[in-house]
Amino acid sequence: MTTQADVVPHVAELLDTAQQSATPVSTATPWPQLNLDEAYASQTALIARRHARGEHGVGLKLGFTSEAKMRQMGVDEVIVGQLTDGMQAADGGLIDLGALIHPRVEPEIAFLIGTAVDLADPDVDLEAAITGVAAGLEIIDSRYDGFRFDLPRVVADNTSAAMFVLGPWRAPDEVDLDDIPVTLRAGDEVVAEGTTAAILGHPLRTLPRLVALGGRLGLRLPAGSVVLAGAATEAVTLRPGPVSATVAGLGTVHAVAVADSAGPLGEGGD
Ligand code: 0L1
Ligand code: MG
């Protein structure tokens, strides 16, 4: 029997196994009650397992930064997840669907943090540390069957983070992020449209939330870190083929999702 004391490593192991085997945690799996602190501790233990396999931290991501998604989930809380180099694909690179469970893709705004930031300092000016802005693609892939979770579970699951892709960096003073159209395409087909205003009204408004959360959790943002600020549209099932996100005036980021050899083209998704 799992006691409350070993809940954190137990949850981390279940989620890590699910991710590595691309097999969701069944709804029938007994699951301990987690509070939010235990959920973030489980997330950190999960990421520590990836680091032990040789991956390196490259940044942080925010989730539930759109009012629509918060309403949908019945929460009013932004959540934070941790990015590693093992999650990053090159712009135009391949996303192996065979390594994922039921991936969805969403268009993101990404920030490059040029100078190390102390998130423990509540007065820190994170915006001043930004030296690049880019369009991003985030592939989310809940490790829970049917993408079903509550807030602690999705936090423990590293906010469903699976893969991400960054477009070319632009200097922040070259870019206006205020209510800018964002388009997600699968091949030539537009599959979702939104604007940067969907991200808490303006992507820069996510930064104080990140400082507050990151400071409380002891997260770090060394120089060169990436921040995924949040999605400008709903997430869409990722199917085999090209996918891209365009942020008007900022740029386009591309990836190609490929089915694994066992799965015929055209399958995939939920
Ligand atoms: O990046 C995100 O906004 C995902 C947050 C986690 C919830 C989900 O899996 O949709
Ligand atoms: Mg996201």
Q: How far is the CA of 70 from the centre of ligand 2 (A)?
A: 12
What is the Cα–Cα distance from 227 to 45, expressed in whole angstroms? 20
Residues contacting 167, CB < 8 A, separation 6+: 91, 110, 134, 135, 136, 245, 250, 251, 252, 253, 254
| Residue 216, in any domain of the structure | yes
What is the C-alpha to C-alpha distance for residues 216 and 40, in angstroms, rounded to an integer? Answer: 11
Domain membership of residue 48 (yes or no) is no
Name the residue of 66, 67, 69, 78 whose CB sits within 8 Å of the most ligand 1 atoms, as the mutation to test its pocket: 69
Atom of ligand 1 nearest to the CA of 108: 1
* Ligand nearest the Cα atom of residue 70: 1
* Residue among 36, 32, 37 at smallest CA distance from 13: 32
Domain count, the chain: 1
CATH number of residue 174's parent domain = 3.90.850.10
Give, using CA atoms, the residue closest to atom 5 of ligand 1: 63
**pLDDT higher than 50, residue 268:** no
Q: What is the mean pLDDT of residues 94-120?
A: 97
pLDDT digits (tens, 9 = 90+) for 203-257: 999 999 999 999 999 999 999 999 999 999 999 999 999 999 999 999 999 999 9
pLDDT in tens, 124-154: 999 999 999 999 999 999 999 999 999 999 9
In this predicted model, which residue has the larger pLDDT, 268 or 156?
Answer: 156
Range of the domain at 81: 56-258
| Section 83-109 average pLDDT | 98
Task: Report, as an integer, the average pLDDT of 121-126.
Answer: 92
Of 161, 180, 149, the C-alpha closest to 235 is 161
Q: pLDDT for 18-67, tens place per residue?
A: 999 999 999 889 899 999 999 999 999 999 999 999 999 999 999 999 87
Q: Is residue 71 part of a domain?
A: yes
CB 254 within 8 A of CB 154: no
What does pLDDT average to over the chain? 93
**Are the beta carbons of 43 and 84 closer than 8 angstroms?**
no
Ligand 1 centroid to Cα of residue 132, in Å, is: 23
Residue carrying structure tokens 């959920």? 39
**Is residue 31 a part of any domain in this protein?**
no
pLDDT of residue 14: 97
118 located within any domain:
yes
The ligand 1 atom at the shortest distance from the C-alpha of residue 63 is 3
Sign (positive/negative) of CA torsion 211, 212, 214, 215?
Answer: positive
Tell me which of 43, 64, 137 to substitute to probe ligand 1's pocket, judged by most ligand atoms within 8 Å of the beta carbon: 64
* Shortest-distance Cα residue to atom 3 of ligand 1: 63
Q: Say what the pLDDT of residue 197 is.
A: 97
What is the average pLDDT across 109-129?
Answer: 95
- Cβ neighbors of 190 (< 8 A, separation 6 or more) are 183, 184
Please check whether residue 11 is in contact with residue 30, taking contact to mean a CB–CB distance below 8 angstroms: no
The reply to whether 65 falls in a domain is yes
- pTM: predicted TM-score of the whole model, two decimal places: 0.93
SS3 for 177-204 is CCCCEEEEEECCEEEEEEEHHHCCCCHH
Distance from Cα 9 to the centre of ligand 2, integer Å: 25
243 domain-assigned: yes
Alpha-carbon span 255 to 244, nearest angstrom: 6
179 assigned to some structural domain: yes
Q: Minimum-distance ligand to the CA of 69?
A: 1
